[in-house]
Amino acid sequence: MRAAPTILHLDMDAFYASVEQASKPSLRGKAVIVGGLGPRGVVATASYEARRFGVHSAMPMAQARRLCPNGAYLIPRFTLYRQVSDVVMALLRELSPLVEPLSLDEAFVDLEAGGTAFDSAGARATGERLRADIRAATGLSGSVGLAGSKMLAKVASEEAKPAGLLLIEPGTERELLAPMSVRTLPGVGPATGEHLRRAGITTVGDLAEAGEDELVRMLGRSHGVGLYRMALGIDDRPVVAERDAKSVSVEDTFDVDLHDRVRIRTEVQRLADRCVQRLRGSGHSGRTIVLKVRRYDFSTLTRSETLRGPTDDPAVVREAAARLLEGVDTTGGVRLLGVGVTGLADYTQEDLFAQSLAAEPQEGTGEAPGPDGPSGAGGAAGAAAGALEGAEGAAGTEPPGERPGAPGEPEAAVERRWTAGSDVRHAVYGPGWVQGSGVGRVTVRFERPGSEPGRVRTFRVDDPELAPSDPLPLVGDEPPAPASPAPSAS
């Protein structure tokens, strides 16, 4: 515990939903729910207007629609969220070299390490200046907590929501914490909270009064000692600038249970490729491949295989995931699949055996077999309704796949799909976003950040003048518009 409140915790307010409201003026002040839009999707973030109806993060999307039928339901746009997050994190790094990001919208900052603040007055001034800088740079609001420890700073930012600042003076911790619910403390989830409630412990003050010995008896030594210290406001954890990733994984929840074994294999290989892309993007390789399968009855199975050395080779990960799948019974149906890599390292050890197998011609064919990839997986488009990153597409449409046919046979037209919330640009009307689509039509609202609410127009889904677009910046000048498409020959 520090003698001055120089640990800052920033938590952006309803981040994903606030970004959507800032980029779509017609949604300001309205209920906005961001998440997977399929029947098995979940809520990632709900705006404060939606929370009044009882909608909250991690809620099934179907339940959210029942509670708030008139809300705006949008897919996440992680590309834009990362861009905004980078701006916010850059502002935090101007305050101190010790910035510990917890997610895209949340981080701890050690103000003493940056020489920014050494007492309460300096910390408060820094926090107010940070909130103003974030508003100017992004148009968004964030809540700031200041305290002598990480736990208390996080509690303070939560109490300050939305768009506020709370400073906890050292020495007042126990008085502040005492009336709060035990669920306020990190590590107290629903199960532990219920266990404590049955023992008559519902507030942090009750925890402190119960004493360390009683909590150890109830919860075990590690958890009991930790909770007792937190109830007293004691937290000596430092702000750590770099936190090593322990694993990289991707998963998809399917709208309809998968039964076809070939389709399941194809989805696993597609997930393996996405996992390797993320693995390489983080600059890592990994040694242990993990397959996750959630079956029709919600039972979840995990299987893993450890390689001889770390790899970031997509073929090696695909082959390992395929081998793991062979040991899983999927006859009843599969609702979720995931592929992950653990045992991360900063180097790779090429799997020469796998490479030699890939280069070796198949017996009797004289051709080398190509790895089964996601190409041609006709049903892959609807697979990611419940997986948030899988729901994102910079284009916002699903490109048509190739269909083999007889020579000279005209290729059947494949209808483009436009997902609610995705960015588009019209050759005549400019930038906009998809409000909805169906029955061969797509409805677009034409507006941009900072503008007045725009007009709504409806087009054919195959309108040649309507094209996917990148998100516009929330603050600042719009990037140059792409050249208008040439008119199609009639």
- pLDDT score, position 377: 34
Position with higher pLDDT, 424 vs 401: 424
- pLDDT score, position 388: 43
- pLDDT score, position 282: 84
3-state secondary structure of 389: helix
- pLDDT score, position 386: 36
Residue 159 has pLDDT above 80, yes or no: yes
| Local confidence band at 244 (pLDDT 50, 70, 90 cut-offs) | low
- pLDDT score, position 478: 56
Least confident of 17-31, 139-153, 282-296, 410-424: 410-424
pLDDT 10s digits, 96-147: 999 999 999 999 999 999 999 999 999 999 999 999 999 999 999 999 999 9
Residues whose CB falls within 8 Å of the CB of residue 425, separated by 6 or more in sequence, listed in order: 431, 432, 466, 467, 468, 469, 481, 482
How many other CB atoms are there within 10 angstroms of residue 362's CB atom? Answer: 9
Burial letters 445-480, b for 16+ CB under 10 A, else e = bbbbbeeeebeebebebeeeebbbbbbbbbeeeeee
Q: How far is CA 55 from the centre of its chain?
A: 18
| Local confidence band at 269 (pLDDT 50, 70, 90 cut-offs) | very high
Residue 345 has pLDDT above 60, yes or no: yes
Quickly list DSSP for 26-67.
Answer: GGTTS-EEEE--STT-BEEEE-HHHHTTT--TT-BHHHHHHH
| Tokens read off for 97 | 């070299």
How many other CB atoms are there within 10 angstroms of residue 244's CB atom? Answer: 8
Tell me the CB-side half-sphere exposure of residue 353, using CA atoms within 13 A. 5
| Tokens read off for 463 | 């309108």
- pLDDT score, position 477: 58
* Spatial distance between the Cα atoms of 443 and 267, rounded to a whole number of angstroms: 31
pLDDT 10s digits, 347-397: 655 443 444 344 444 433 333 333 333 333 333 333 333 334 443 433 343
Among candidates 232, 180, 8, which has minimal Cα distance to 98?
Answer: 8
3-state secondary structure of 178: coil
For residues 26-42, give the mean pLDDT. Answer: 91
The residue annotated as part of the active site, out of 49, 100, 106, 112, is 106
Residue 317 has pLDDT above 90, yes or no: yes
- pLDDT score, position 347: 60
Share of the chain above pLDDT 70, in %: 82
Position with higher pLDDT, 145 vs 253: 145
pLDDT 10s digits, 173-192: 899 999 999 998 888 888 89
3-state secondary structure of 194: helix
57 and 43 Cβ atoms separated by less than 8 Å: yes
- pLDDT score, position 383: 34
| 106 carries an active-site annotation | yes
What's the chain's average pLDDT?
84
- pLDDT score, position 384: 33
3-state secondary structure of 338: strand
* Spatial distance between the Cα atoms of 86 and 75, rounded to a whole number of angstroms: 21
- pLDDT score, position 272: 96
| Tokens read off for 469 | 């677009």
pLDDT 10s digits, 46-105: 999 999 999 999 899 999 999 999 999 999 999 999 999 999 999 999 999 999 999 999
Please give the DSSP secondary-structure letter assigned to residue 327. T
For residues 191-208, give the mean pLDDT. Answer: 92
pLDDT 10s digits, 273-315: 999 999 998 888 999 999 999 998 888 999 999 998 899 999 9
Instruction: Report angle CA 467, 469, 472 to the nearest 5 degrees.
Output: 145
